[in-house]
Structures are given as C-alpha cells and as structure tokens.
Amino acid sequence: GNISEGDLHFLEMLGSGNCGTVYKALHRKMSMPMAIKVIILDCTVDAQKQILSELEVLYRCKSPFIISFYGAYFMENRISICTEFMDGGSLDQYGQIPEHILGRMTVSIVRGMQYLWSLKIMHRDVKPSNILVNTTGEVKLCDFGVSVQLVESIAKTFIGTNAYMAPEKIGGQDYTVQSEVWSLGISLFEMAVGRFPYETANKNSSKPLELLNSIVLKDPPQLPRGVFSDAFVDFVANCMQKVPSARPAPEALMKHAYIERYDDEKMEAIARWVLEKVEEIQRQKIAKKTSSA
Ligand code: ATP
Ligand code: MG
C-alpha cells in the first residue's frame, strides 16, 4: 500500500541538496526507519498524477545495489519520496576513501548501474552524494531519473551546474550509458584523492562555465601511478575518456582487472570502515555541541 504523511514520525534532517531536503522518519506501523526526500514542486494536478504513476517503476527496482522504494505522496506543493534509510549516508561526506575500500564499493556501484541499464533505466545523476552506504557494508544507488515529468518539473527550478556531467552531455550531444561511465570515473577519482579533479574552480564555484569549459576542452586528469594500483588508474582513465565510445560499458566494466581484483565479496571490510567513520563523525558532532554549549 502507499504511504501518507500520518504514517510517518519525522525524526531529523539528514541533509539537503539542490532540489530538496531529506529527513529520517519512522514508519509508525511498520516501525521501520525511512529516508523521506521532500521536494517543492509547483506543478499541475495532472503533472502530480503523472509523476506518481511514473515513480511506480521504482517498486520493480529490486536489487541489493539499489535503494528500495516504499512510496510517494503529494501534500500541497510538495512531493515526499520514501525510500530505504542508509545509516552510513552518502559517499560525498567521507573525503578520501582508501583504494581497498573504494574498490570493493565500486563493484557494488557498477552492479547497481548494470541493473538499472538492464531495465532500460538511465541513472542520469551518478555522483558521490547519490551513492549510499550502511554499516552492514551495503552500497546502493539512489536518485536516478525514472520519472520524466519529475525531472522536468525539477529542472524548471534547478539552478547550478552538474560537475559530474560527461563532456558530450555538456556539449549537448546524446546521453548514453557511456555518459554515466564518465560520471562514475570522475566520482571515483574524487573519492580516491579527496578532492574534485578539475582545478580551475571548485565544483560549486561561482564560475561554472569555466569548469564546464575545462571538462570539454582539457585532457582528462589522471590518477597518480604508484599511489594507486595500475588497475585502478587504468580503470578511471578508461571511464574518463573524452570519446564516449572508447569508454567501457556495460560488460567490459565488470571484466576490468580493477573490478575483478576487488570482487571478493568482502562486505565486512566496507562495513567495518563505514562503522568507524560513522562513529568518528558522531564524536565530532558531540565535540562541536559541547564546545559551543
Ligand atoms: P543534489 O541535490 O545536487 O543531487 P544531494 O544528492 O547531496 O545533492 P539530496 O539528494 O537532497 O542532495 O540528499 C541530501 C543528503 O541526504 C545526501 O547527501 C545524503 O547524505 C542524505 N541522504 C539522502 N538519501 C538518503 C538515504 N536514503 N539514507 C540516508 N541518507 C540519505
Ligand atoms: Mg541525492
């Protein structure tokens, strides 16, 4: 059945992005934690109906590498999208991630992307903040664009640049699975070194055109050899080729030496790392509170 506002007990805000705010809530009857993404959308009732019906595709997205969908509802001019809560949050908050952890995470990320592609769904927004982890070591994708109407309605109010966008997309060419492979590559690069790989400006800069220009015009950045395994350097370089058809996809991704190396199902390695980090972040929050009190 579907969820309504009365079923939920809102607990805390988890974060907010360009188009909405995500809260943690408890589903009262199921006593299950959920993540509720609330987006303000000024659209017609017809558009609302269309969005809700398009989102139903999400009920059929069942994979260990994809966030589970529990339902969505409109209240006034806001849509609330209810999904699985991930206690490790998103990968953008962790800074640099060691290769042996990131490598194992990548296996799940690629499996998630392949699952979506197998359903003819394009993610359209692969980036560290849309990759979630939990303390059991699961890694799952969220925020993929299943509803054309929702994407359109958000686009009307969206301001800002998508720094993870492939050069061909910036140039207005066709968007393909290979474009998502670029986004995967640049995301891995950022998480491996702990900073966004283009130097001109940071990705939230006031000079977005400069950033987009360097992505389109410059040679893609390379991970330093020696610091990272050759397989990893090569994988990211393959993903970040300017010519889309030169990038591996989809079968070739799984067959790459980097993926094969870390495809050992050692989820407990990720689990331990995430748990440690979550505890560290928790301690920092408490320290901040006590120092400001
Ligand atoms: P953008 O709006 O540019 O896509 P974003 O992805 O950071 O940026 P949101 O999708 O609104 O923005 O998410 C905000 C934050 O909420 C995320 O960065 C993440 O930390 C947290 N979050 C989102 N979904 C979940 C979830 N299912 N479980 C736990 N935390 C989540
Ligand atoms: Mg997001």
Residue 200 has pLDDT above 70, yes or no: no
Judged by average pLDDT, the poorest of 15-19, 170-174, 195-199, 206-210 is: 206-210
Number of helical H runs and strand E runs in the chain: 10, 7
Q: What is the pLDDT of residues 111-161, one digit of tens each?
A: 999 999 999 999 999 999 999 999 999 999 999 989 999 988 888 777 677
Longest Cα–Cα distance of the chain, Å, equals 57
Q: How far is the CA of 219 from the centre of ligand 1 (A)?
A: 31
In this structure, are residues 25 and 11 in contact, taking their beta carbons and an 8 Å threshold?
yes
Nearest CA to ligand 1 atom 19: 90
With cut-offs at 50, 70 and 90, classify the pLDDT of residue 293: confident
> Is it the case that residue 202 has pLDDT exceeding 60?
no
Percent of the chain scoring above 90 in pLDDT: 82
Q: Reply yes or no on whether the pLDDT at 201 is more than 80.
A: no
DSSP assignment of 263-289 equals: -S--HHHHHHHHHHHHHHHHHHHHHHH
Whether 263 sits among the annotated catalytic residues: the reply is no
Q: What is the pTM of this model?
A: 0.95
Using a 6 Å CB cutoff, which residues line ligand 1? Answer: 14-20, 22, 35, 37, 67, 83-86, 89-90, 92, 129-130, 132, 142-143
- Nearest ligand, CA of residue 158? 1
Mean pLDDT of the chain: 94
Q: What is the ipTM of this complex?
A: 0.98
pLDDT over threshold 70, residue 218 = yes
